[in-house]
Amino acid sequence: MRIVFATWFAITLSAVAAAACGDDDGSGRPSEGSGGAGGAAGAGGGTGSAGAQGEGGTGGTGSTGGTGPTTGPTSRDLLDQLQALDGLTAVEHDSTLPGYRYFVLELDQPADHDHPDAARFQQRLLLHHRDPAAPVVLVTEGYNLYPDAQWLDEPAELLAANQIRVEHRFFTPSRPAPADWSLLTIEQAAADLHRVIASLRPLYEGRWISTGASKSGMTAIYHRRFYPADVDGTVAYVAPHSAGVSDPRYLDFVAERGDPACRQALQRFQREVLLRRPAMLDLMDAEAAELGVTYDLLGIDRALDVAVIESVFSLWQYKDSSFCARVPTAASDDAAVWAFLDEANAPRLWSDPYLFAMEPYYWQAAAELGYPSFAEEHIADLLLYPGANVPTSFVEAGPGKTPLFDPSAMQDISAWLTAEGERLLFIYGENDPYTAAAFDIGAARDSHRFIAPGGTHGAVILSLAPADQALALGALESWTGVAPSRRDPAALRPLLRGRRWMTRD
């Protein structure tokens, strides 16, 4: 799933800095945060001190221990404990989160869990450790990890929890070599997570929650289908459940966003970009030279077509309707048209480095996950590559790299969820196009699906209506035994949502 995040990849010189400071639409993770009250004595340490103001962390919540891990035998031995685990390597780095220790880990994994004696690979993990007695939040990343950028996802913030972030298989460097792409399946990825939990569970006494946003949230649900008892609950944010590689439900949803004047202005803008193709290609060429990127996989004309086709979808994914007032018109100059396209769906996101880095996602979308449909009838006469925005377009040709869609994978997930699922939270944004394909929870037990009013692809628990928020927080408390913090959302470190990944999720 393509989440258009301008700092997703290290191709821009400021990628890591942007990730650390937050992006300009407010969905990044600024370092500013409020300090929390110090907790009671943590295991292996003294009474926790209050979380510092400014570096972004929330302190201990009083009931779950404070910064104890900074002293005492347990903290001194933690690195040794990690390094003693079978198949695990651990390196400690400086933590930017007060009260936490930070480790970059690698776990030896089978490429094929049905044949563990065959090829293997090293899967990268990031651990933020606070207190062995606190809950553990497992972030089931659907993409790459960014070790230089440290943050806690919302459940870890709310619960003052330990956090383990797992890089998805086949996203480099967590890729077998040579890569057998037939092993990039939701079941194999679920087995990866199962082994991560089995390896690290002995170090922690608290309950476990899994979480993820967009494709990462989907990954959390798939893991629960195959290993339902691995965690005590799951929070899946803005996670779609697409039906096929061109799911038509997205078309009607996007067509209903905004008022008629806004919808018309956006369609006219898309036509304006394509009518100015020579000027737009010149700007793409200039940017490519500056960034050192190429368009060999798609070709520059097809990359422009795809960027335009998807631009309206992406605007509603991340923006509110206020952008309608500044949509360029035929009277706008080329610079204004280019700037708005860059904001909506930057063409560089369809250049080779981005596409090759995100190729595992497109493989999965083409093989099992499905993909949205995008409206293009109103610009069909101006497209050079109509119908190009399908996941197989973004998979490099090669031996063993012809994905065939298997609808039974998502059908199986639906059947399990609606009949046997339990302890699941789904959070969606009202205007996010991916809400068109929201999971149906059916008869799942102790489970809820909430929609944040006016929300986008950055919807979180603390953006829900008060009654829904109370239910969601109550579920977290029930599942973990820890009362979540109920501070104002502005007092919690904003999460890395919105322009977070470079894929659609």
471-482 mean pLDDT:
98
| 2, β-bridge pairs | 504
- Model confidence pLDDT, tens digit, residues 52-109: 333 333 333 333 334 444 433 344 589 999 999 999 999 999 999 999 999 999 999 9
CA 505 to chain centre: 7
What's the pLDDT score for residue 77?
A: 87
Tokens read off for 302: 């097809």
Contact (CB, 8 A) for 39 and 62: yes
The per-residue b/e assignment along 420-439, b for 16 or more CB within 10 angstroms, e otherwise, is ebebbbbbbbebbbbbbbbb
Task: From residue 145, give the alpha-carbon distance in Å to each of 132, 158, 261, 457.
Answer: 23, 22, 41, 19
438-461 mean pLDDT:
97
pLDDT at 479 over 80: yes
The per-residue b/e assignment along 170-197, b for 16 or more CB within 10 angstroms, e otherwise, is bbeebbbeebebebbbbbbbbbbbebbb
pLDDT at 501 over 80: no
The DSSP string of 300-331 is HHHHHHHHHHHHHHHHHHH--GGGGGG---TT
Q: Which domains does the chain have, with CATH numbers?
A: 15-243+408-491 (3.40.50.1820), 254-394 (no CATH)
Nearest Cα to Cα of residue 211 among 164, 151, 160, 147 = 164
Can you give the C-alpha Rg of the chain in angstroms?
Answer: 22
DSSP letter at 232 equals S
Lowest-pLDDT choice from 10-24, 78-92, 398-412: 10-24
pLDDT at 486 over 90: no
Nearest-angstrom CA–CA distance, 262 and 242? 27
Better-scored residue on pLDDT, 205 or 35: 205
Nearest-angstrom CA–CA distance, 250 and 282? 32
Nearest-angstrom CA–CA distance, 396 and 359? 8
Percent of the chain past pLDDT 90, that is, above it, reads 80
Site of tokens 């193709």: 277
Identify the band that residue 39 occupies on the pLDDT scale cut at 50, 70 and 90. Answer: very low
What's the pLDDT score for residue 372?
A: 98
Tokens read off for 276: 């100015």
The DSSP string of 28-87 is S--S--------SPPTTS-SPPPPPSSS------SSS--SGGGSHHHHHHHHHHHHHSTT
Burial of 367 per CB tally in 10 Å (0-12, 13-18, 19+): buried
Give residue 401's identity as a one-letter amino acid code.
K
The separation between the first and the last C-alpha atoms of the chain, rounded to the nearest angstrom, is 3
What's the pLDDT score for residue 311?
A: 97
- Model confidence pLDDT, tens digit, residues 170-215: 999 999 999 999 999 999 999 999 999 999 999 999 999 999 999 9
What's the pLDDT score for residue 485?
A: 86
Lowest-pLDDT choice from 59-63, 98-102, 241-245, 472-476: 59-63
CA 329 to chain centre: 33
Task: From residue 225, give the alpha-carbon distance in Å to each of 197, 366, 411.
Answer: 15, 21, 12
What's the pLDDT score for residue 437?
A: 98
What's the pLDDT score for residue 115?
A: 97
Burial of 279 per CB tally in 10 Å (0-12, 13-18, 19+): middle
DSSP letter at 240 equals B
Tokens read off for 322: 């206020």
DSSP H helical segments within 100-202, as ranges? 154-159, 186-200
Better-scored residue on pLDDT, 492 or 146: 146
482-487 mean pLDDT:
83
Nearest Cα to Cα of residue 367 among 401, 336, 398, 334 = 401
- Model confidence pLDDT, tens digit, residues 321-330: 999 999 999 9
Nearest-angstrom CA–CA distance, 86 and 502? 34
CA 101 to chain centre: 23
